[in-house]
Structure 1
Amino acid sequence: MGRQTAPSGGPATDPPATAEGSLRPFRWAMAAAALGLLVMYQSVDTSPVTPRQVAAAAPAATPGDRPSSAAVPAAPTLPRSRPVKLWIPQLFVEAPFVELGLDHAGALEAPAKDNRNLVGWYRDGAAPGERGSAVVAGHVDTTTGPAVFLMLHLLTPGSTVDITREDGIVATFAVDSVQTFPKDRFPDEQVYADTDAAQLRLITCGGAYDRQRKDYTDNVVVFAHLKSSRQT
C-alpha cells in the first residue's frame, strides 16, 4: 500500500501498543457455518491497512459518495478513552484491541499477522465514541487461517457494533453502509474525512488475492455512527 499520512480525528496520544482482554473461542466460526460459507484461503494478508489509501490517486469525494450517516441522528459524543474490546453480534465476533501507530513510511501498522482474533485501533485518531472517525483495522486471514474480519462484508445497514472502552463505557455503533473499494482507487476523503459526529470505520482487505503483488485487490469498509452508550 502507498505511503500515507494519519487521518484527522481526536487529540493525538502515543501510549505503548498493548493488547487488552483475554482471547475467547472463535464464536464467529459458528456464524460462518450457519451462513453456509466455505472459506478456502490460499494466501496470507500481511500488508497493513493504511490510514490514507493512495491519496494522490484517489478521486475527490462528492456529496453523493458519502455514507448515509450524515442524515441519521447520532448520540452525543463521548470523552476520549481507548477501546479494549470489540463485539459484533451479527458475526459472533469478540476480540481485544491492540493500539496501532504509523511506520516509517507513514502506513498504519497492522495487527500481529499470527493472531487471528485481534483488531487494531489507530491511536492517533479519534477514539471510538469521540468526535471524528475512529479507525479500526483487522485481518481477513493470517498465517494460521481465517481471521477476525473474515465476514465483515456480511454486515448490513442497521447491524450494531459494540466497543467497550477503558472508562467502562460501551459505545454502540449502527452500521450505515458496507462498501468495497479497489485499492488503487480508494476514496481517501470519503473514508477518513473528519466529522462533527462520532463515527466508526472498520477496515479489512477484500476482493481477489493478487499473487504477483502479494496483496488483495480491494478494501472492505464499514461506515457506522454512534447510536448509544451505556456504563458497564
Structure 2
Amino acid sequence: MTGRVLRRRSLLLLPAAVWVAGCSTGPGAPAPTGAPGSTATGTASATATVPSPGGPSSATAPESAPVPAVGDPGRAVAAGEVPVHLEVPAAGVDVPLIRLGVNPDGSLEVPVDYQQVGWFTGSAAPGATGPAIIAGHVDSTSGPAPFFRLRDLVAGDEVVVTGADGQRRSFSVDGVEQYPKDRFPTAAVYGPAPGPVLRLITCGGSFDRSVGHYRDNVVVFAS
C-alpha cells in the first residue's frame, strides 16, 4: 500500500462476488501524469470488473469477468433518482455525470473522455439503500482528471450528488482507502449496506509501465 491512507469505520464484510477494480490504458500506453503520491508521468483510467458469485479471489479474478448489479435487485431506479451531477468541494470536483454500463466482455465501462465521471447503472441510485458506485479517471497525458485529488479527502468532507429530479443528496466521507489490485476488498466496497452509501473509485499508487496500469485503487467511502 502506498501513500497516506485514512482508515474508516468498520465495514460489513460478506461472502459476496469478488470485485477487482483496476486501472489501465492498454498495452503500450504512455505512462500517466501521476496521481498524488505516484511516481508515474503520462495516462490512466479507472475500471472495475468482477467474476460471478463463488468465483476466484481478487488475486486471480479475470478483468473480463461479468459485472452483476450491486443495488437492490427488487427496486427499480426511478427516473428522478438517476444521478446527473457530482460535487466534491474539498477535491475540486464539480462535474456532470454520465451513465456507465458494461462492456461486451462484461467489464465495467469507463468514460471515454478523461474529464468525464460516471455512475454505474447496475448499482444503487445515490440516496437509495445500497452502494452507489461512481468511477472516474485520475489523470491523462494532458494532466489531472476530475478524481485527481480524491485521495486527499478526509472524514467529514461533503459529497453531493444531484438527481435528475433536481434533488441534492448529500453524503459525508467516512474515509479513504488505497488498495493494491490483488487485495481489493470486494465485499467492503460492493457488498450490501443497510442504508444509502456511496463509493467513489479511481486509480492510485505507482504506475506499471509494462502493462499500462496503476497498481492500486483509491476508494472513497461515504454515507
Q: Shared fold (TM-score greater than 0.5)?
A: yes
Could you tell me whether the CA contact under 8 Å between 1:6 and 1:124 is conserved in 2? no
**1:52-89 deviation digits (Å, cap 9, x = unpaired):** 38962239xxxxxxxxxxxxxxxxxxx74111111111
Match of 1:186 among 170, 184, 189: 184
Q: Counterpart of 1:90 in 2: which secondary structure?
A: helix
Matched, 1:195 2:193: yes
**1:20-75 deviation digits (Å, cap 9, x = unpaired):** xxxxxxxxxxxxxxxxx8998622114x411538962239xxxxxxxxxxxxxxxx
Any gaps of 5 or more consecutive residues in structure 1? Answer: 8-36, 60-78, 226-232
Letter in 2 for 1:43: G
Structure 1 residues 130 and 209, CA gap change in structure 2 (3 angstroms): same
Structure 1 residues 51 and 162, CA gap change in structure 2 (3 angstroms): farther
Letter in 1 for 2:96: P
Q: Of the two structures, which has the highest relative contact order with CA contacts closer than 8 Å and spacing of 6 or more?
A: 2
Deviation for aligned residue 1:104 = 2.0
The Cα RMSD (Å) is: 2.6
What is the percent sequence identity of the aligned residues?
A: 41
Higher helix share: 1
Tell me whether 131-140 or 81-90 shows the greater mean CA deviation: 81-90
Q: Counterpart of 1:213 in 2: which secondary structure?
A: coil
Question: Could you tell me how far apart the structure 1 residues matched to 2:147 and 2:218 are?
Answer: 10
Could you tell me whether the CA contact under 8 Å between 1:6 and 1:125 is conserved in 2? no
Structure 1 residues 224 and 138, CA gap change in structure 2 (3 angstroms): same
Question: Could you tell me how far apart the structure 2 residues matched to 1:195 and 1:38 are?
Answer: 31
Which residue in 1 is equivalent to 2:30? none
Question: Could you tell me how far apart the structure 1 residues matched to 2:38 and 2:215 are?
Answer: 18
Which residue in 2 is equivalent to 1:155? 153
Q: Counterpart of 1:50 in 2: which secondary structure?
A: strand
Deviation for aligned residue 1:115 = 3.4
Which residue in 1 is equivalent to 2:41? 42
Any gaps of 5 or more consecutive residues in structure 2? Answer: 1-16, 20-35, 60-76
Which residue in 1 is equivalent to 2:114? 115
Between Structure 1 and Structure 2, how many residues are aligned? Answer: 170
Large movers: runs of 4+ above 4 Å: 37-41
Letter in 2 for 1:101: G
Structure 1 residues 43 and 53, CA gap change in structure 2 (3 angstroms): farther
TM-score using structure 1 length: 0.67
Deviation for aligned residue 1:6 = 10
Question: Could you tell me how far apart the structure 2 residues matched to 1:179 and 1:160 are?
Answer: 17
Structure 1 residues 110 and 88, CA gap change in structure 2 (3 angstroms): same
